[in-house]
Amino acid sequence: MLRLYDNKESRNGYKAVLLLSHLGTPYERVEMDIFKGASRTPAYLAKNPAGKIPALELDDGTVLGESGAILWYLAEGSPYLPDEKLARAQVLRWICFEQNAHETSVAESRFILMHPELSAGRTGDILAEKQKRGNAALKSMDDHLKKNDFFAAGRYTIADMALYGYTSVADQGGFELSAYPAVQAWLKRVEAQPGYVAATQG
């Protein structure tokens, strides 16, 4: 059985949880207290030398890290990852956007506000800059969603799951989603998908 190493506060791990629920794939979830060093133990580092979560352990013991790679692996051969070349590239484009423009601003703003004790030197101007970049990312999403129901391939894919993770809790990072009505409507479309499961709140 698949084993997912995760933390309930992480929306990176939740992306995989969401896809596994859509697929109806059984798996074991292993809660990792990353704030107490669970991902830095010798036993875990032997599995995932990057010392990060999420990580997906396959039946043969292979461990796959990085949320985007986990989504891609799990979605292969399913309706959530198209076969057509350009459509696949569009999915990848939005996954890259999520990692490079969205997570580094929206998710990091959330972390700073939720864990000020771990964010020394990152408040003030740094937080303001991240929120500025986060709003720019949300505006790009909103502009796209004014003309499209989903992000790629004309349907719900892992691109949406990747972006849903931290967008759904963007308010915890100081973002006002009411400024992005197309994003709000998209969140509801995601939540209406068969097999949708809400995140365990951290």
**Domain co-membership, 105 together with 35:** no
Shared-domain flag, residues 103 and 64:
no
Same structural domain for residues 59 and 116? no
Assigned domain for 29 exists: yes
Q: What is the pLDDT of residues 62-86, one digit of tens each?
A: 999 999 999 999 999 999 999 999 9
Tell me the pLDDT tens digit for each residue of 124-169: 889 999 999 999 999 999 999 999 999 999 999 999 999 999 999 9
Same domain for 185 and 100: yes
Domain boundaries, position 35: 2-75
17 within 8 A of 26, measured Cβ to Cβ: no
Measured distance CA(93)–CA(114) in Å, rounded: 29
Average pLDDT, the chain: 95
Looking at the structure, tell me whether residues 105 and 141 fall in a common domain: yes
For residues 89 and 186, state if they share a domain. Answer: yes
> 175 and 107 in one domain?
yes
Domain count, the chain: 2
Distance, CA of 6 to CA of 189 (rounded, Å): 25
Instruction: State percent of the chain over pLDDT 70.
Output: 97
Please report, for the domain that includes residue 53, its CATH number: 3.40.30.10
The burial class, CB within 10 Å (0-12 / 13-18 / 19+), for 194 is: exposed
Whether residues 152 and 114 share a domain: the answer is yes
